[in-house]
Chain A
Amino acid sequence: DSGVTQTPKHLITATGQRVTLRCSPRSGDLSVYWYQQSLDQGLQFLIQYYNGEERAKGNILERFSAQQFPDLHSELNLSSLELGDSALYFCASNPDPRNTEAFFGQGTRLTVV
């Protein structure tokens, strides 16, 4: 158990809908990362937050947004969902971005039908 908690574990929704994925980082970790793992794109970095502020952005679609709250948990919002958004979404955390190791949650499996 990495200490990073993601909910829900599985999510099935219809095209056009909006969902929210939640991540609770390890206790004390200030930095949160979101990654998408899909069959065609592999593991791709989406976005990073550090202590509530956006730190870096990757290949995140405009339909997707994220935030990190004062209690350091983070949410990834996916809207106007398309079939191609079906993927495994990972959250990872570490105490400080300078730490080399990021601890991953078990992911949320999103299926868009």
Chain B
Amino acid sequence: AQTVTQSQPEMSVQEAETVTLSCTYDTSESDYYLFWYKQPPSRQMILVIRQEAYKQQNATENRFSVNFQKAAKSFSLKISDSQLGDAAMYFCAYRIFQGAQKLVFGQGTRLTINP
């Protein structure tokens, strides 16, 4: 069974600095997708960034980038120039390429931004 592990229940960072959130996963599949979702206090689940496993290039979305290490089954999220609005729960998620399209989520990391 696929599992996703986020080993950091909480993280904090000073505004304008960089923070990295960790995620590891376990799968026997070769084709899959990985995601980072943000859940602010409003509870809305917002997609931050997506990575296809077959792509070697790490995904980037503005201040958000990932470090995808397929062999190590690691998928970390780097937030640069942290802003107060980045404060939220962050969830790493996995989905296989074909078959059941369910998302498998990690337990989440609560990110606090210190002004």
Q: Which residues in A have some Cβ–Cβ distance to B below 8 Å?
A: 2, 31, 33, 35, 42-45, 48, 55-56, 58, 88, 90, 92, 97-98, 100-102, 104, 106-107, 109
Contacts and interface: CB of A to CB of B under 8 A. Distances in A.
Interface of B: 33, 42-47, 50, 52, 91, 95, 100-108
A58 B95 CA distance: 13
A56 B44 contact: no
Label chain B's interface by main secondary structure: loop
Which A-B residue pairs are the 6 nearest by beta carbons?
Answer: A104-B45, A43-B105, A45-B102, A97-B101, A56-B100, A42-B107
Contacts of A107: 43-44
Nearest to B106: A42
A106 B42 contact: yes
Contact of A2 (B44, B50, B108): B44
A56 B43 contact: no
B44 A106 contact: yes
B50 A101 contact: yes
Contacts of A42: 105-108
Contacts of B104: 45
A88 B52 CA distance: 29
